[in-house]
């Protein structure tokens, strides 16, 4: 009789165990919906101030004359494109989803480094922001930026080898399991991770697109893009082909959404490996085209030499 009662209670015990396991998973997952918009006050303030300053500065520059208007318009579109990319990465549901899925987290990082950063560099926001201030403030800010306390660190940070090293270090260090897990566990470290990705990417892309480009600079830019494509592709391949989970903290949230954690990690690795490699390749093609156009002699000069 006791054995019969045990058999009858077994399904109930299994059901309670299953419910307890599901409750444990849901308790450890983020409280917000995976498709919610995120409005962190400091993020919204920084994004708003940056775009307002740019539009005000652009408006003042546009009134100064038609010369260079097309170039300024190109920079405006580039900045706005980079700004909207940051909004997509930090405010849109992608940010909330990145708390649940590693692949979404990786997509967010790639948007920082491969879309927003180069577009912002092309937009040249520092110069345009300066024009948003009154004349006296522009003079004081300009004098401050020319001081040795700012000029020398900036010159050092924008050396191609330094910017390349900082960007590579940020990528590899933060994707090491110990540091990535720490970023997932603590919001402050997570913010530091995002800031270092974006800051190092801005310095990196400045050495590619922002520096005054002579032949030697273009050669450095192409070498930097090629080597970065290689080492980021290697990191993406390691994530894709790894036989086990690198980041255990992602397991429960991934399963809570009904996805396989290992497949989610593989998808995140593919995001870095394939689209990331294509982005660096596209940058290399643009730099190569710029280099060839500057080296090619005008058609008239060639005819004159032949004559």
Q: What is the pLDDT of residues 117-132, one digit of tens each?
A: 999 999 999 989 999 9
**Residue pLDDT, tens place only, 69-82:** 888 899 999 999 99
| pLDDT of the residue at 211 | 65
Which pLDDT belongs to residue 30?
Answer: 53
- Phi, psi for 267 (deg, rounded to 5): -65, -40
- d(C-alpha 225, C-alpha 280), whole Å: 6
Half-sphere exposure of 202 (CA within 13 A, CB side): 16
State the pLDDT confidence band at 16, using cuts at 50, 70 and 90: very low
Of 99-103, 150-154, 215-219, 248-252, the one with minimum mean pLDDT is 215-219
Q: Is the dihedral of CA 270, 276, 278, 284 positive or negative?
A: negative
> Which DSSP category does 209 fall into?
I
Q: Which of 151, 77, 149 is nearest to 119 (CA)?
A: 77
Distance spanning both ends of the chain, measured CA to CA: 113
CB 124, CB 205: distance < 8 Å: no
Residue 302, pLDDT score: 46
| Cα–Cα distance, 250 to 30 (Å, whole number) | 11
Q: With 50 as the cut, is the pLDDT of residue 214 above it?
A: no
Answer yes or no: pTM beyond 0.85. no
In-domain check, residue 91: yes
Q: Quick one: pLDDT band at residue 255, thresholds 50, 70, 90?
A: very high
**120 within domain boundaries:** yes
Does the residue 286 lie in any domain?
yes
Number of domains in the chain: 1
Cα angle: 71, vertex 218, 68; to 5 degrees: 10
In 10 A of CB 55, how many CB atoms? 15
142 CB burial (10 A radius; 0-12, 13-18, 19+): exposed
Name residues whose C-beta falls within 8 Å of residue 171's C-beta, 6 or more positions apart in sequence: 113, 197, 231, 232, 235
Residue 87, domain member (yes or no): yes
Residue 10 lies in a domain: no
* Average pLDDT for 217-239: 91
pLDDT for the residue 304: 43
Does residue 260 fall inside a structural domain?
yes
- pLDDT bucket at 2, cuts 50 / 70 / 90: very low
| CB half-sphere exposure, 76, CA atoms < 13 A | 17
CA distances from 304 to 178, 292, 297, 307 (A): 65, 21, 11, 5
Asked whether residue 200 is domain-assigned, the answer is: yes
Does 17 reside within a domain? no
CB 149 within 8 A of CB 160: no
Q: Name the residue with tokens 């192409």.
A: 222
**CA angle in degrees (0–180, nearest 5) for 280-125-208:** 25
Instruction: Give the containing element (helix H, strand E) for 168.
Output: helix 160-174
The confidence band for 170, taking pLDDT boundaries of 50, 70 and 90, is very high
Q: Which domain, by its residues, includes 290?
A: 35-306
């Amino acid at each position: 009789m006791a054995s019969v009662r045990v058999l009858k209670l077994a399904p109930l015990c299994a059901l309670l165990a299953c419910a307890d396991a599901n409750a444990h998973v849901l308790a450890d997952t983020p409280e917000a919906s995976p498709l919610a918009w995120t409005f962190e006050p400091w993020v919204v303030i920084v994004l708003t101030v940056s775009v307002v300053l740019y539009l005000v500065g652009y408006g003042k520059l546009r009134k100064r004359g038609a010369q260079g208007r097309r170039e300024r318009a190109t920079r405006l579109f580039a900045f706005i494109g980079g700004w909207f990319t940051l909004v997509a990465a930090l405010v849109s549901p992608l940010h909330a989803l990145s708390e649940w899925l590693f692949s979404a987290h990786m997509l967010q990082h790639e948007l920082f480094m491969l879309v927003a950063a180069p577009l912002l560099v092309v937009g040249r926001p520092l110069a345009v922001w300066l024009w948003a201030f009154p004349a006296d403030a522009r003079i004081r800010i300009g004098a401050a930026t020319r001081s040795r306390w700012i000029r020398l660190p900036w010159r050092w940070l924008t050396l191609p080898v330094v910017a390349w090293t900082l960007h590579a270090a940020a990528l590899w260090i933060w994707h090491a399991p110990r540091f990535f897990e720490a970023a997932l566990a603590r919001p402050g470290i997570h913010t530091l991770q995002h800031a270092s990705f974006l800051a190092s990417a801005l310095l990196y892309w400045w050495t590619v697109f922002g520096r005054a480009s002579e032949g030697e600079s273009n050669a450095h830019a192409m070498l930097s893009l090629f080597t970065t494509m290689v080492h980021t592709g290697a990191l993406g391949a390691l994530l894709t082909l790894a036989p086990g989970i690198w980041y255990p903290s992602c397991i429960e949230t991934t399963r809570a959404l009904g996805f396989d954690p290992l497949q989610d990690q593989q998808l995140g690795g593919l995001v870095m490996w394939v689209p990331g490699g294509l982005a660096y390749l596209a940058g290399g093609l643009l730099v190569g085209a710029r280099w060839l156009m500057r080296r090619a002699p005008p058609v008239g000069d060639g005819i004159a030499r032949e004559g």
